[in-house]
Amino acid sequence: MRSRPSVRSRATFLAAAACILLPLPASQIHAAANGARPAPAATAPEDGQWTMPSKDYASTRYSGLDQINRQNVARLKLTLSWDTGSRKGQEAPPLVVGSTMYLTMPFPNNIIAIDLAAKPRPAVKWVFRPNPRPMSQGVACCDVVNRGAVYANGRLFFNTLDGQVIALDAASGKAVWRTQVGNIMKGETITMSPLVAEGKVIVGDSGGEFGVRGWLMALDAASGKVAWKAFHTGPDKDVLIGPDFHPYYAADRGKDLGVHSWPADAWKIGGGTAWGWVSYDPQLKMIFYGTGNPGPWNPEQRPGDNKWTTGVFARDIATGRARWFYQSTPHDLYDHDDINEQILLDMPVRGQMRQVLVRPARNGYLYVIDRKSGQVYSADPYGYINSASGVDLRTGRLIPVPSKAPQEGRVVRNIGPTASGAKDWNPGAFSPRTGLIYLPHENLCMDEGVMEANYISGTPYLGADAKMYAGPGGNRGFLTAWDPVRRKAAWKIREDLPLWSPALATGGDVVFYGTMDGWFKAIDALTGKLLWRAKLDSGIIGQPITYRGPDGRQYVALVSGVGGWAGAIVSGPLDPGDPSAALGFVNAVRDLPKRTQAGGRLYVFALPR
Partner 1 sequence: MSSPCRASLILLAFILLAGCDREKRGMTHEPKPETMAFVPSGDPRASDYENNAFQMSQGQRLFMWMNCVGCHAHGGGGMGPPLMDDKWRYGGRMEDIVYTILNGRPNGMPPFKGRLTEQQAWQLASYVRSLSAQPRQDVLYSRSDEMSITEPATLKERNAIMNEPPAPGHGPGK
Q: Of the candidates 349, 357, 345, which has an alpha carbon nearest to the alpha carbon of residue 313?
A: 357
Torsional sign, CA 213, 216, 220, 224? positive
Is 297 or 325 the residue whose CB approaches partner 1 more closely? 297
Is there binding between residue 460 and partner 1 (CB under 8 A)?
Answer: yes
User: What is the Cα gyration radius of the chain?
Assistant: 22
Site map (CB under 8 A) of partner 1, residues 558-587, x = contact: ----------x---xxxxxxxxxxxx--x-
Is 151 or 210 the residue whose CB approaches partner 1 more closely? 210
- CB-based burial label for 180 (10 Å; 0-12, 13-18, 19+): exposed
Is 134 or 254 the residue whose CB approaches partner 1 more closely? 134
Q: Of the candidates 226, 150, 230, 139, which has an alpha carbon nearest to the alpha carbon of residue 188?
A: 139
| Gap between the Cα atoms of 414 and 23, Å rounded | 50
Q: Of the candidates 278, 283, 318, which has an alpha carbon nearest to the alpha carbon of residue 198?
A: 318
Query: Does residue 524 have an active-site annotation?
Result: no
With CB under 8 A as the contact rule, the residue among 458, 484, 514, 544 that binds partner 1 is: 458
With CB under 8 A as the contact rule, the residue among 447, 495, 509, 524 that binds partner 1 is: 447
Torsional sign, CA 433, 436, 437, 438? negative
Q: Which of 46, 91, 209, 524 is catalytic?
A: 209
Is 63 or 206 the residue whose CB approaches partner 1 more closely? 206
Query: Does residue 183 have an active-site annotation?
Result: no
The distance from CA 112 to its chain's CA centroid, rounded to whole angstroms, is: 23
Site map (CB under 8 A) of partner 1, residues 199-228, x = contact: ----------x-------------------
Is 351 or 409 the residue whose CB approaches partner 1 more closely? 409
Is there binding between residue 335 and partner 1 (CB under 8 A)?
Answer: no
Query: Does residue 495 have an active-site annotation?
Result: no
Is 120 or 577 the residue whose CB approaches partner 1 more closely? 577
500: left (phi over 0), alpha (psi -120 to 50) or beta: alpha
* Total chain residues near partner 1 (CB under 8 A): 39
CB of 445 to partner 1, least distance (A): 14
Other CB atoms within 10 Å distance of the CB of residue 133: 14
How far CA 581 is from CA of 51, 418, 470, 490, 584, in Å, comes to 36, 15, 16, 36, 5
Of 409-428, binders to partner 1 (CB under 8 A) are 411
CB of 266 to partner 1, least distance (A): 17
Query: For partner 1, which stretch binds (CB under 8 A), given 65-73, 260-268, 271-279, 462-470?
Result: 462-470
Q: Are 502 and 514 in contact (CB under 8 A)?
A: no
CB of 455 to partner 1, least distance (A): 9
Which residues touch 333 (CB under 8 Å, ≥6 apart)?
Answer: 299, 387, 400, 404, 405, 406
With CB under 8 A as the contact rule, the residue among 277, 430, 461, 547 that binds partner 1 is: 461
Site map (CB under 8 A) of partner 1, residues 2-21, x = contact: --------------------
* Type of residue at 250: A
Residues recorded for the chain? 609
Is 44 or 574 the residue whose CB approaches partner 1 more closely? 574
CB of 573 to partner 1, least distance (A): 8
Of 225-284, binders to partner 1 (CB under 8 A) are none
With CB under 8 A as the contact rule, the residue among 55, 467, 476, 492 that binds partner 1 is: 467
Of 123-142, binders to partner 1 (CB under 8 A) are 134-142
CB of 441 to partner 1, least distance (A): 22
Q: Any idea what DSSP says for residue 261?
A: T
Other CB atoms within 10 Å distance of the CB of residue 283: 13
Other CB atoms within 10 Å distance of the CB of residue 161: 27
CB of 408 to partner 1, least distance (A): 11
Q: Are 509 and 434 in contact (CB under 8 A)?
A: yes
CB of 456 to partner 1, least distance (A): 6
With CB under 8 A as the contact rule, the residue among 300, 465, 496, 591 that binds partner 1 is: 465
Angle CA(272)–CA(274)–CA(279) in degrees, nearest 5? 135
How far CA 348 is from CA of 19, 305, 435, 593, in Å, comes to 22, 32, 12, 46
Q: Which of 335, 337, 346, 424 is catalytic?
A: 335
Is 52 or 139 the residue whose CB approaches partner 1 more closely? 139
Is 183 or 378 the residue whose CB approaches partner 1 more closely? 183
- CB-based burial label for 473 (10 Å; 0-12, 13-18, 19+): exposed
Q: Are 252 and 243 in contact (CB under 8 A)?
A: no
> Catalytic amino acids?
209, 293, 335
Binding site for partner 1 (CB under 8 A): 134-142, 209, 411, 447-449, 451, 453-454, 456, 458-462, 465, 467, 568, 572-583, 586
